[in-house]
C-alpha cells in the first residue's frame, strides 16, 4: 500500500487506510521537492531504511491494533520559507488465527464436536459459520476452519480426526443359577481388533484377561461377571449375573456285608456340600461301637468293635454334618449288618 501525504501550507488530513500487522513493510511518500528535508513521526511503527527521505518503508509488526497517526515535517535549511507538516491516519489490524477445539481421535459411531476459538469472523469447510459443529464419526475425517480477516490474509487450520473401530463386548452363556464350588467357563464372543485387551471382573474386582477364563465360585449369593474390551481409544462393557446356591445332600445306605469279598465291606455314607461330619454307630442296646469323622482316612465302619467282628443285626448311625455355610445338620438312620 502506498499512502501519499501531500505537503501544503494549508493542512488537510488524509483518508483512513488499513494495514495488517503481519504484512510486509508498507510505503509512505510525499512529493519530492528539491532542497527539502523530511522528518517523519510514525508512532508505534518502525522505519526500515532511510528516515529522512520523502519515501519511507514502515514495519507495523510490533504495533498494537488500532488507529495510528502519521506525520511528516518538510523543511529547508536554505530556502526562506516555513516548513510544512502533513498528517494521516492508518488503521493497524491484527488478523485472527484459526484455532478450534477438536478431538484427534474418535470411536466409530460417536458424535464428534468441533468448537471455533476465533474471536472474529470465521467459516468451516462446507460454509457453516456456527461456533460449534458436530458430525457422526464413520471413518477417518479431515476438515478445516478459516479465520476470515477482511483486508488481511485469511488464516486456515486443518483437522485430521482418526476414527477407530468400536469394539463389542459379549459374554458366552451364563446360567441363572450355579452351586457352591462349581466351575464356570467363560468366553469372549464379541468383536475386537487383535490389539484390543479383554479384561474380566468378578463383583467389580479384576481377576483375569484374555478371550477365555474360568471361575470357581466359593461364595454364595448373587455375583456380577463384567467384561471390558478396550483397544486403547474405544471400549465397550457388558455384564451378566449368576446366583450361587447351596447344593447340600446326604445319602445313607441301608445295609452292608463285611465278609471280606471286597464288595460292600465298608459302611459309609456320602454327601454333597459337606465341610465336616462326625458319625457314630450304636448297637441295639444303645452302645457306641464305632466313631469317625471327615478327617479319618478310612471314612467308614468295617463292622468290627475293638478288633472283634460285630454280630449281624440292625445298627443305628447318628451323623452331625456341617454344610459350606457352616450350618450344622443332624441325622439318625438305621442300617443292617449282613454276614
- % of the chain with per-residue pLDDT over 70: 94
Residue at a domain's end among 93, 111, 127: 93
Local confidence band at 4 (pLDDT 50, 70, 90 cut-offs): very low
Local confidence band at 218 (pLDDT 50, 70, 90 cut-offs): confident
**Same-domain check for residues 330 and 317:** yes
**Same-domain check for residues 107 and 148:** yes
**Same-domain check for residues 108 and 73:** no
pLDDT at 12 over 70: no
Buried-state track 83-119, b at ≥16 Cβ within 10 A, e below 16? ebebebebebbbbbebebebeeebbeebebebebebe
pLDDT at 156 over 80: yes
More confidently predicted of 120 and 172: 172
**Same-domain check for residues 13 and 84:** yes
**Same-domain check for residues 89 and 6:** yes
Q: Residue 293's domain is classified under what CATH number?
A: 2.60.40.1220
Local confidence band at 7 (pLDDT 50, 70, 90 cut-offs): very low
Tell me the per-residue pLDDT of 31-71, one tens digit each, with 9 for 90 and over.
Answer: 888 888 899 999 999 999 988 899 999 999 999 988 998 99
User: Would you say residue 331 lies in a domain?
Assistant: yes
Mean pLDDT of all residues in 151-174: 94
User: Would you say residue 169 lies in a domain?
Assistant: no
Distance (Å, whole) CA 36 – CA 23: 30
User: Would you say residue 312 lies in a domain?
Assistant: yes
Residue 84: predicted pLDDT: 86
User: Would you say residue 171 lies in a domain?
Assistant: no
Tell me the per-residue pLDDT of 236-260, one tens digit each, with 9 for 90 and over.
Answer: 999 999 999 988 899 999 999 999 8
Q: Are 130 and 145 in contact (CB under 8 A)?
A: no
* 255-256 β-sheet, strand order: 255-256, 328-337, 313-323, 274-282, 288-293
Mean pLDDT of all residues in 155-176: 95
Mean pLDDT of all residues in 271-281: 93
Q: Are 131 and 116 in contact (CB under 8 A)?
A: yes
Tell me the per-residue pLDDT of 81-116, one tens digit each, with 9 for 90 and over.
Answer: 678 888 888 889 888 999 999 999 999 999 999 999
Q: Are 187 and 211 in contact (CB under 8 A)?
A: yes
Counting every residue, how long is the chain?
339
Residue 103: predicted pLDDT: 93
Cell matching residue 272: 454333597
Using the Cα atoms of residue 108, residue 113, residue 116 and residue 122 in order, give the sign of their dihedral. Answer: positive
Residue from 211, 216, 249 nearest 227 by CA = 211
Helix (H) or strand (E) holding 148: strand 141-148
Distance (Å, whole) CA 292 – CA 266: 13
**Same-domain check for residues 139 and 213:** no
Q: Residue 132's domain is classified under what CATH number?
A: 2.60.40.10
Question: What are the distances in angstroms from CA 32 to CA 6, 10, 13, 29, 70?
Answer: 10, 18, 19, 9, 18
Distance (Å, whole) CA 209 – CA 184: 15
**Same-domain check for residues 11 and 83:** yes
**Same-domain check for residues 237 and 253:** no
Distance (Å, whole) CA 213 – CA 203: 15
Residue from 130, 124, 127 nearest 145 by CA = 124
pLDDT at 13 over 80: no
User: Would you say residue 220 lies in a domain?
Assistant: yes
DSSP for 299-321, please give it. Answer: -SB-SEETTEEPPSEEEEEEEEE
User: What is the Cα gyration radius of the chain?
Assistant: 48
User: Would you say residue 290 lies in a domain?
Assistant: yes
Local confidence band at 178 (pLDDT 50, 70, 90 cut-offs): very high
User: Would you say residue 41 lies in a domain?
Assistant: yes
Burial zone of 76 (CB within 10 Å; 0-12 exposed, 13-18 middle, 19+ buried): middle
Q: Could you count the other beta carbons within 10 Å of the beta carbon of residue 6?
A: 12
Tell me the HSE value of 166 on the side-chain side, using a 13 A CA sphere: 12
User: Would you say residue 170 lies in a domain?
Assistant: no
Tell me the per-residue pLDDT of 188-201, one tens digit each, with 9 for 90 and over.
Answer: 999 999 889 999 99
Residue at a domain's end among 49, 70, 93: 93
Place of cell 449281624: 312
Residue at a domain's end among 225, 245, 265: 245
Model pTM score:
0.58
**Same-domain check for residues 259 and 232:** no
**Same-domain check for residues 86 and 50:** yes
pLDDT at 15 over 60: no
Residue 230's domain comprises 177-245
Give every CB contact of residue 243 below 8 A, 6+ residues apart in sequence.
176, 177, 178, 221, 222, 223
Q: Could you give the number of structural domains in the chain? A: 4
**Same-domain check for residues 225 and 296:** no
Specify which residues 250 forms β-bridges with. Answer: 271
**Same-domain check for residues 22 and 67:** yes
Amino acid at each position: 500500500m502506498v499512502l501519499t501525504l501531500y505537503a501544503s501550507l494549508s493542512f488537510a488530513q488524509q483518508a483512513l487506510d488499513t494495514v495488517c500487522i503481519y504484512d510486509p513493510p508498507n510505503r509512505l511518500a510525499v512529493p519530492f521537492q528539491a532542497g527539502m528535508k523530511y522528518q517523519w513521526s510514525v508512532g508505534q511503527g518502525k522505519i526500515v531504511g532511510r528516515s529522512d527521505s520523502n519515501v519511507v518503508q514502515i514495519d507495523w509488526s510490533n504495533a498494537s491494533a488500532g488507529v495510528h497517526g502519521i506525520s511528516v515535517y518538510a523543511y529547508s535549511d536554505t530556502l526562506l520559507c516555513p516548513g510544512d507538516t502533513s498528517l494521516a491516519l492508518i488503521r493497524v489490524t491484527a488478523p485472527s488465527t484459526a484455532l478450534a477445539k477438536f478431538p484427534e481421535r474418535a470411536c466409530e459411531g460417536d458424535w464428534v464436536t468441533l468448537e471455533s476459538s476465533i474471536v472474529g469472523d470465521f467459516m468451516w469447510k462446507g460454509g457453516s459459520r456456527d461456533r460449534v459443529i458436530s458430525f457422526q464419526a464413520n471413518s477417518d475425517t479431515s476438515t478445516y476452519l478459516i479465520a476470515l480477516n477482511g483486508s488481511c490474509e485469511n488464516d486456515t487450520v486443518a483437522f485430521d480426526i482418526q476414527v477407530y473401530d468400536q469394539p463389542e463386548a459379549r459374554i458366552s452363556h451364563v446360567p441363572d443359577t450355579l452351586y457352591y464350588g462349581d466351575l464356570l467357563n467363560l468366553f469372549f464372543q464379541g468383536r475386537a481388533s487383535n490389539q484390543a485387551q479383554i479384561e474380566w471382573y468378578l463383583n467389580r474386582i479384576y481377576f483375569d484377561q484374555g478371550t477365555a477364563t474360568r471361575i470357581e465360585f466359593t461364595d454364595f449369593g448373587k455375583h456380577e461377571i463384567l467384561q471390558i474390551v478396550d483397544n486403547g481409544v474405544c471400549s465397550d462393557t457388558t455384564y451378566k449375573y449368576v446366583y450361587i446356591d447351596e447344593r447340600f445332600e446326604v445319602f445313607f445306605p441301608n445295609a452292608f456285608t463285611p465278609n471280606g469279598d471286597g464288595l460292600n465291606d465298608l459302611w459309609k455314607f456320602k454327601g454333597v456340600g459337606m465341610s465336616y461330619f462326625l458319625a457314630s454307630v450304636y448297637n441295639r442296646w444303645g452302645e457306641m461301637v464305632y466313631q469317625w469323622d471327615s478327617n479319618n482316612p478310612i471314612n467308614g465302619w468295617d463292622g468290627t468293635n475293638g478288633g472283634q467282628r460285630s454280630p449281624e443285626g440292625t445298627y443305628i448311625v447318628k451323623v452331625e454334618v456341617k454344610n459350606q455355610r457352616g450350618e450344622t445338620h443332624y441325622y439318625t438312620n438305621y442300617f443292617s449288618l449282613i454276614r
